[in-house]
Amino acid sequence: MKIYFKSSVILILLLTGMSSISFGQAKQKANKDTEAWRYEIEGAGGVGSEGTYLIKVWSYSKKPKIAIEQAKKNAIHGVIFKGFAGAKGDPSQKPLASNPSIEDEKADFFNDFFADGGKYMKYVGVVGNGDINAGDVIKIGKEYKIGVIVSVQKDYLRKDLEAAGVIKGLSSGF
């Protein structure tokens, strides 16, 4: 009985360790995809609270759960650098950064900002507890394209980026 118990415990520990290694490797791959900024962003056509955007971010990953987490980084990156098309009659939104090279010029700032658990997290939240509609999970080859609706606090994001000297304030003129 003791041998069976020890074998079971060892097997469970090995499997748990393997799954965490696998998840860790998937997270590293997702971070590489995020660093390449592989995503699509569009307006979600909903109403957010004052000073927020509701947007849908399509992220790519072999693990759907990881794509959901990466969608938060992608959403903030999109709001800052890409802007997005509106949905259902909503206007398109220009990026917060008007200088396309600011990401390279302020690379140290953005590396820290977008690090796992970085400052970007205080401006973004997943809508609906991260529930994803069946039509928002698309299998493409060996990976998934996952559509996640997020809320971005764009007014606070803009204010903090201005205070950090990353973008110019709206009142600074042209």
Flag whether 24 is in a domain.
Answer: no
pLDDT in tens, 78-115: 999 999 998 877 888 999 999 989 999 999 999 999 99
Place of tokens 């415990």: 9
Flag whether 112 is in a domain.
Answer: yes
Average pLDDT across the chain, whole number: 80
Flag whether 139 is in a domain.
Answer: yes
pLDDT of residue 11: 36
Model pTM score: 0.77
Flag whether 27 is in a domain.
Answer: no
- State which residues form the domain around 85: 34-172
Flag whether 8 is in a domain.
Answer: no
* Residue-wise burial string across 135-172, b where 16 or more C-beta atoms lie within 10 A, e elsewhere: eeeeeeeebbbbbbbbbbbbeebbebbbeeebbbeeee
- Residue 86 CB neighbour total at 10 angstroms: 15
pLDDT of residue 8: 39
Tokens linked to 145 = 């394209």
Percent pLDDT > 90 in the chain is 51
pLDDT of residue 69: 83
Q: Are strands 39-43 and 124-126 parallel, antiparallel or unpaired?
A: unpaired
Flag whether 1 is in a domain.
Answer: no
Model confidence band, residue 34 (pLDDT cutoffs 50, 70, 90): low
Model confidence band, residue 150 (pLDDT cutoffs 50, 70, 90): very high
Flag whether 28 is in a domain.
Answer: no
Flag whether 23 is in a domain.
Answer: no
| Total number of domains in the chain | 1
Query: Comparing C-alpha atoms, which of 75, 67, 76, 78 is closest to residue 137?
Result: 67
